[in-house]
Amino acid sequence: MFHEIIRNRRSIRKYSLKNVPSHLISKIIEAARWAPSAHNAQPWRFLVINDEKIKRELAEAMAMEWEKDLAQNGMLPEERETLIKESIRKFTQPPVIIIAFLTMDEMHKYPNKKRREAEYIMAVQSVAAAIQNLLLAAYFEGLGTCWYCAPLFCPETVKKVLGVPKNFEPQALITVGYPSEKPEPPPRKPLEAIMRVNRWE
């Protein structure tokens, strides 16, 4: 059963308009809460957004930042417009989006730069583990999800729109809803391509 959940979960980009009960959102974040974390610091925070106005405000603000990047890359205006419209759609159409944040408040503090950098990576890994728990729990409950890293490219915009504390760093945007598509499984590398025993030889 557990391995079937891992294998059958998919990134869902199309959702039905059916509302997601709040108790299910609480259940999947409860699953995230039980992920392992460095020093048990639990450096994750989750903001659930189901208000249509706030979803649109966030999606449009993020899209504006993305359009600036696309323009700097030399993309033509009509191409940018198509991508921006699709970006806004995919972040407003799902009934719920969840923003995953990282906070270093309870992580260890070091004067040494190398150790500070390692500590930060440990926090990022911890948040990622929590997100994976959330995705698997959502699938178990019959929900679809998709993990987007878009907030990493416009963190200050996300923080400003959502009014979160300054020490919250946005790490991911997760769309949540009842799926209206059933994607085929993406290819996976064979086990022998990614695993060795004792030495990489």
- Is 2-49+93-181 a domain of CATH 3.40.50.2300? no
Most distant CA atoms of the chain, gap in Å: 55
**pTM score, whole prediction:** 0.96
Phi, psi dihedrals of residue 106, rounded to the nearest 5°: -105, 10
Q: What are the boundaries of each domain within the chain?
A: 2-49+93-181
Q: How many whole angstroms separate alpha carbon 8 and alpha carbon 13? A: 15
pLDDT tens by residue, 83-136: 999 999 999 999 999 999 999 999 999 999 999 999 999 999 999 999 999 999
pLDDT (tens digit, 9 = 90+) per residue, 139-158? Answer: 999 999 999 999 999 999 99
Can you read off the two tokens belonging to residue 198? 């004792």
